[in-house]
């Protein structure tokens, strides 16, 4: 089995580390890296067997190609590698938005090269192969979108490899994926960044605020340290869902503001009580990454 990883960072690097540990010499992993330093680090850490900036050397002969660059770079990258991709190869990705990618890829993919959309619902605020972890996917949700026209044999081949990362795989249609990802991932990142911006705009109070920062602010805004290019691309490719949910959030906050302004303690208490009840139920049903 030959696996090519395009973008050996946190996600791609973690995949490589896990599969090399599980399969050893039964899999040969190549990685596309932009700099000599990133090539060296990817191979030193054991995320890939071979790293290069040469597209043909990385993807040539690959059975599976795992695409893990920022979302807006995925389609241009596929266009670049297509001349070197063998017949029967499977393309899959880690993009946080799915509909945009599929709408573009189905225009250019030949019938003998298959795309199976994927989205591992995991990550950290740190990026790069140095942040990679062989256990990053274990127990985490991993979406596989099945409505991209790939045959059953291609799905079975891909899953025979991916199952080794011990993620919780689920299938969902593209539109629902993008809507749900907006609510549980994209809008929270924007909200975290907004809280940091609010702090940064505190003016004369900034120094005092910084001295008062504790665990609550750090926990709430942790994801604001994520890669800016990645999140800008997500907003550009899932804009309709994100804008809709941001307006919904704006409406919710507007109601809270009105309740506070009118000194309606019961309404404010109900707001907190209902959200606590919902989150407690979520905690009972879902295992969260403590990191």
User: Does any domain span residue 220?
Assistant: yes
pLDDT higher than 90, residue 230: no
Strand segments, DSSP code E, in the chain are 2-6, 28-32, 50-52, 64-67, 90-93, 114-120, 141-145, 168-171
User: Does any domain span residue 158?
Assistant: yes
pLDDT at 149: 86
User: Which of the listed residues 110, 138, 172 is the one where a domain comes to its end?
Assistant: 172
pLDDT at 283: 80
Phi/psi at 270 (nearest 5 deg)?
A: -60, -35
Tell me how far the alpha carbon of residue 161 is from its chain's centroid: 19
What distance in Å separates the CA atoms of residue 147 and residue 281, rounded to the nearest whole number?
31
For 149-182, how does the pLDDT look when each residue is reduced to its tens digit (9 = 90+)? 899 999 999 999 999 999 999 999 999 999 999 9
The β-bridge relationship of strands 114-120 and 50-52 is unpaired
User: Are 121 and 184 part of one and the same domain?
Assistant: no
User: Are 150 and 229 part of one and the same domain?
Assistant: no
Give percent helix, percent strand, percent coil of the chain, each to the nearest 5. 60, 15, 30
pLDDT at 127: 76
User: Are 117 and 147 part of one and the same domain?
Assistant: yes
pLDDT higher than 80, residue 190: yes
User: Are 158 and 267 part of one and the same domain?
Assistant: no
Query: Residue 286 — very low, low, confident or very high, per pLDDT cuts 50/70/90?
Result: low
What is the CATH number for 205? Answer: 1.10.3660.10
User: Are 152 and 83 part of one and the same domain?
Assistant: yes
User: Are 194 and 246 part of one and the same domain?
Assistant: yes
User: Does any domain span residue 54?
Assistant: yes
Range of weakest confidence among 20-24, 213-217, 268-272:
213-217
User: Does any domain span residue 291?
Assistant: no
User: Which of the listed residues 114, 140, 172 is the one where a domain comes to its end?
Assistant: 172
For 17-66, how does the pLDDT look when each residue is reduced to its tens digit (9 = 90+)? 999 999 999 999 999 998 888 899 999 999 999 999 999 999 999 999 99
User: Are 161 and 197 part of one and the same domain?
Assistant: no
User: Are 119 and 35 part of one and the same domain?
Assistant: yes
The whole domain housing 251 covers: 176-285
User: Does any domain span residue 290?
Assistant: no
DSSP 148: S
User: Which of the listed residues 172, 194, 222 is the one where a domain comes to its end?
Assistant: 172
DSSP 166: -
Work out the percent of the chain whose per-residue pLDDT is above 90. Answer: 84
User: Are 121 and 77 part of one and the same domain?
Assistant: yes
User: Are 140 and 238 part of one and the same domain?
Assistant: no
HSE-CB for 251 with a 13 A CA cutoff? 6
| Sign of the dihedral through C-alpha 182, 76, 174, 9 | negative
C-beta atoms surrounding 243 within 10 Å: 13
Q: Which two tokens stand for residue 90?
A: 């499977």
User: Are 163 and 191 part of one and the same domain?
Assistant: no
Query: Residue 290 — very low, low, confident or very high, per pLDDT cuts 50/70/90?
Result: very low
Sheet strands side by side (includes 114-120): 50-52, 28-32, 2-6, 64-67, 90-93, 114-120, 141-145, 168-171
Please list, in sequence order, all residues whose beta carbon lies within 8 angstroms of the beta carbon of residue 191, skipping any fewer than 6 positions away.
Answer: 249
User: Are 135 and 214 part of one and the same domain?
Assistant: no
User: Does any domain span residue 90?
Assistant: yes
User: Does any domain span residue 146?
Assistant: yes
What distance in Å separates the CA atoms of residue 291 and residue 276, rounded to the nearest whole number?
21
* pTM as predicted: 0.86
What is the CATH number for 151? Answer: 3.40.50.720
Domain total for the chain?
Answer: 2
Taking alpha carbons only, the member of 40, 49, 42 closest to residue 20 is 49
């Amino acid at each position: 089995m030959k696996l090519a990883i395009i973008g050996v960072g946190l996600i791609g690097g973690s995949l490589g580390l896990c599969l090399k540990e599980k399969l050893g010499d039964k899999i040969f992993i190549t990685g596309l890296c932009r700099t000599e330093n990133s090539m060296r680090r990817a191979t030193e850490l054991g995320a890939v067997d071979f790293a290069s900036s040469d597209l043909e050397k990385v993807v040539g002969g690959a059975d599976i190609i795992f695409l893990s660059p920022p979302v807006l770079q995925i389609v241009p990258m596929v266009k670049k590698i297509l001349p070197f991709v063998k017949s029967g190869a499977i393309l899959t990705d880690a993009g946080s938005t799915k509909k945009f990618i599929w709408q573009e890829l189905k225009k250019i993919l030949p019938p003998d090269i298959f795309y199976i959309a994927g989205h591992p619902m995991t990550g950290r605020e740190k990026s790069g192969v140095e942040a990679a972890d062989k256990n990053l996917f274990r127990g985490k949700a991993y979406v596989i979108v099945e409505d991209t026209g790939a045959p059953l044999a291609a799905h079975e081949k891909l899953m025979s490899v991916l199952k080794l990362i011990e993620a919780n795989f689920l299938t969902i249609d593209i539109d629902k994926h993008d809507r749900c990802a907006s609510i549980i991932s994209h809008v929270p990142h924007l909200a975290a960044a907004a809280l940091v911006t609010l702090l940064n705009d505190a003016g004369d109070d900034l120094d005092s605020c910084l001295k008062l920062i504790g665990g609550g602010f750090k926990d709430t805004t942790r994801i604001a340290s994520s890669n800016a290019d990645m999140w800008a691309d997500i907003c550009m490719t899932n804009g309709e869902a994100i804008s809709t949910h941001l307006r919904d959030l704006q409406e919710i906050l507007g109601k809270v503001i009105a309740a506070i302004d009118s000194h309606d303690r019961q309404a404010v208490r109900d707001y907190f009580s209902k959200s606590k009840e919902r989150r407690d139920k979520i905690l009972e049903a879902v295992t969260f990454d403590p990191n």
